[in-house]
A and B are shown apart, each in its own frame.
Chain A
Amino acid sequence: MALNWFKKLKTGLSKSASKVGGALASVTGKKVVDQLTLDDIEDQLILADLGIQVSARITKKIKDKKFVLNDKKEIASLDITETVAAEIEEILLPCELSLFDNVTSKPHVLFLAGVNGSGKTTTAGKIAEQFRLQNKSVILAASDTFRAAAVEQLKTWGNRVGAEVVSGVDGGDSAAVAFQAFQKAQNESVDIVIVDTAGRLQNKKDLMEELTKTCRVLAKLDDNAPHQKVVVLDGTVGQNAHSQLESFNEAIGLTGMIITKLDGSAKGGVVVSLAEKFKIPIHSVGVGEGLDDLQPFKASSFSRAIAGLDEL
Chain B
Amino acid sequence: MFENLTDKLGNVFKGLTKRGSLSEGNVDEALKEVRTALLEADVALSVVKEFIDKVRVRAVGEEVLRSVTPGQQVIKIVNDVLIEVLGSNESELLIDHAPPAVILLVGLQGSGKTTTAGKLALHLKSKKRKKVMLASLDIYRPAAREQLRILGEQAEVSVLPEIDGESPEKITKRAMAASKIQAIDVLILDTAGRTTIDTAMMSEAQEVFKLSSPSETLLIADAMTGQDAVQTAKAFSELIKISGVVLTRTDGDARGGAALSMRSVTGCPIKFVGVSEKLEGLEAFHPDRAAGRILDMGDVVSLVEKAAETIAEEDAAHMMKRMSQGSFDMNDMLKQIGQLKKMGGLGGVMSMLPGIGKLQKQMAANNFNDKSISKQEAIIYSMTKKERINVALLNASRRKRIASGSGTVVSDVNRLVKQQQDMARMMKKMGKMGGLGGLKNMMSSLGGTSQDAPTSDGQAPAMDSEKMAQLQKMMGGNMPNLGNMANKFGGMGLPGLGGNSSKKRR
B-binding residues in A (CB < 8 A) = 11-12, 15, 43, 46-49, 51-52, 115-119, 122, 146-150, 152-153, 155-157, 201-205, 234, 236-241, 243-244, 261, 263-267, 269-270, 289
Contact = CB atoms under 8 A, between A and B. Distances in A.
Interface residues on B, range: 35 or more
B227 A48 contact: yes
**A-B pairs with lowest CB-CB distance, top 8:** A238-B226, A117-B110, A264-B195, A156-B142, A238-B42, A149-B147, A266-B228, A152-B143
9 contacts: A46-B227, A149-B144, A204-B251, A236-B226, A240-B252, A240-B254, A264-B108, A265-B228, A289-B140
B72 to A, nearest CB: 28
Given A117-B112, A153-B147, A264-B196, A236 B142 contact: no
B197 A52 contact: no
Contacts of B36: 52
Contact of A148 (B150, B196, B255): B150
Contacts of A238: 42, 224-229, 254, 257-258
Contacts of A150: 143, 147
A236 B249 contact: no
Contact of B253 (A51, A152, A203): A203
Given A52-B36, A147-B147, A149-B150, 5 more contacts: A153-B141, A205-B369, A238-B42, A238-B257, A264-B197
Interface string B238-276: 000000000001011111011000000000000000000
A84 B143 CA distance: 43
Contacts of A117: 109-112, 222, 249
B186 to A, nearest CB: 21
B314 to A, nearest CB: 34
Q: Which of A149, A201, A236, A265 has the most CB of B within 10 A?
A: A236
Contacts of B277: 116, 146-147
Interface string B207-239: 000000000000000101111110110010000
Interface of B: 36, 39-42, 45, 108-112, 118, 140-144, 146-147, 149-151, 154, 195-198, 222, 224-229, 231-232, 235, 249, 251-255, 257-258, 277, 369
A236 B228 contact: yes
A267 to B, nearest CB: 7
Contact of A46 (B45, B140, B224, B225): B45
A117 B111 CA distance: 6
Given A156-B142, A240-B254, A240-B255, A265 B112 contact: no
B228 to A, nearest CB: 4
B197 A261 contact: no
Contacts of A240: 42, 224, 226, 252-255
A116 B222 CA distance: 10
Contacts of A289: 109, 140-141
A188 to B, nearest CB: 25
B225 A236 contact: yes
Contact of A236 (B143, B150, B154, B222): B222
A119 B110 contact: yes
Contacts of B224: 115, 234, 237-238, 240-241, 244
A289 B277 CA distance: 24
Contacts of B253: 201-203, 240, 243
Contacts of A46: 39, 45, 227
Contacts of A119: 109-110
Contact of B255 (A15, A234, A239, A264): A239
A236 B112 CA distance: 14
B223 to A, nearest CB: 8
Most B CB contacts (10 A, CB to CB) among A48, A118, A238, A289 go to: A238
Contacts of B45: 43, 46-47
Contacts of B254: 238, 240
A52 B277 CA distance: 32
A149 B144 CA distance: 7
The residue in A49, A202, A239 that gathers the most chain B C-beta atoms within 10 A of its C-beta is A239
Contacts of A156: 142-143
Contacts of A153: 141-144, 146-147
A259 to B, nearest CB: 12
Contact of A237 (B147, B195, B225): B225
Contacts of B222: 117, 234, 236-237
A308 B227 CA distance: 17
Contacts of A263: 195, 197-198
Nearest to B4: A243
B107 to A, nearest CB: 10
A105 to B, nearest CB: 29
Contacts of B147: 147-150, 152-153
B195 A261 contact: yes
A31 to B, nearest CB: 29
A157 B142 contact: yes
A272 to B, nearest CB: 12
B120 to A, nearest CB: 15
A239 B41 CA distance: 7
A241 B249 CA distance: 14
The CB with the most chain B CB atoms within 10 A, among A150, A156, A243, A266, is that of A266
Contacts of B142: 152-153, 155-157
